[in-house]
């Protein structure tokens, strides 16, 4: 059974970090309700969910993906790029300890898990305002013995690599090629987001389905036309904090 680690929405969610979109007011009650719907979707797809309590003093802490990269062999505890987010790793370290050997990214490296796309033994790291080359170098040093190869990927006008591209399966990626160059992903089949839905490049494959926002119906239709089964979720309020469906869980296989 897959384990999904999630964390409830902070009551200070309106104070979240914003980088590439305009700040708009967030309704905390709606955000919490949407997050509960997301957790329910994970459960309906067969995940056991470890629901961590909200961190009242950490506005962005619902986005647990940024604190760790979970691999079959080990888990890598990140060092988030925003100083306000660095304390988020403490509770995730405790939560992951029973399930994986833990490795740690150290200063001067910074990396958000949202910048880390793992496909097979390939690790792509977005060179964003949150993640740097020192993190790529540390990943290669820490993970080389397990057969992983990490490489940096340049981004354009988006927060994280997984804002622009995510794994659909081990052969296929969902991508907004305006925000990341396709030359980085030679050998993969690429499904382009609909041009009217630039933020639709983020989906979360679980079991035989893809958790995907209802806000992007045209890209949903593209995925369904390719035979993929969609598990719809509503995440519009979470998206006001530059969040997406991969952001809100850590999946431990």
Q: How far apart are CA 14 and CA 240, in angstroms?
A: 9
Strands 68-70 and 48-52, sheet pairing: unpaired
How many alpha carbons lie under 13 Å from residue 180 in its C-beta half-sphere? 33
Q: What is the DSSP letter of 27?
A: -
* CB neighbours of residue 170 within 10 Å: 11
Catalytic residue among 16, 47, 158, 247: 247
**Contact present, 8 and 32 (Cβ < 8 Å):** yes
C-alpha dist (Å) from residue 112 to 12, 31, 74, 79: 20, 22, 17, 7
Catalytic residue list contains 20: no
Closest CA to 38 of 63, 11, 14, 70: 63
**Contact present, 76 and 19 (Cβ < 8 Å):** no
* CB neighbours of residue 137 within 10 Å: 13
Catalytic residue list contains 36: no
Closest CA to 165 of 183, 191, 186: 191
**Contact present, 149 and 121 (Cβ < 8 Å):** yes
Catalytic residue among 16, 47, 160, 248: 160
Q: How far apart are CA 168 and CA 44, in angstroms?
A: 19
| Catalytic positions | 160, 247
């Amino acid at each position: 059974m897959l384990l999904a680690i999630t964390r409830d929405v902070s009551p200070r969610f309106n104070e979240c970090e914003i980088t590439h979109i305009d700040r708009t007011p967030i309704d905390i009650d709606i955000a919490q309700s949407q997050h509960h719907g997301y957790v329910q979707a994970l459960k309906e797809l067969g995940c056991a969910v470890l629901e961590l309590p909200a961190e009242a003093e950490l506005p962005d802490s619902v986005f647990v993906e940024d604190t760790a990269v979970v691999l079959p062999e080990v888990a890598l505890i990140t060092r988030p790029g925003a100083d306000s987010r660095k304390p988020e790793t403490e509770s995730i370290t405790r939560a992951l300890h029973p399930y994986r050997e833990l490795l740690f990214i150290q200063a001067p490296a910074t990396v958000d898990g949202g910048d880390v796309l793992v496909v097979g033994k390939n690790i792509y790291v977005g060179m964003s305002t949150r993640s740097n080359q020192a993190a790529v170098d540390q990943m290669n040093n820490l993970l080389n013995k397990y057969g992983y190869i990490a490489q940096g990927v340049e981004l354009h006008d988006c927060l994280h690599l997984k804002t622009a591209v995510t794994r659909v399966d081990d052969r296929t990626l969902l991508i907004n090629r305006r925000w990341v160059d396709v030359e980085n992903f030679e050998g993969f089949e690429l499904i382009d987001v609909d041009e009217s839905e630039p933020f639709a490049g983020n989906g979360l494959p679980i079991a035989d389905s893809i958790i995907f926002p209802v806000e992007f119906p045209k890209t949903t239709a593209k995925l369904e036309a390719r035979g993929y089964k969609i598990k719809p979720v509503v995440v519009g309020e979470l998206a006001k904090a530059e969040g997406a469906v991969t952001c809100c869980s850590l999946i431990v296989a």
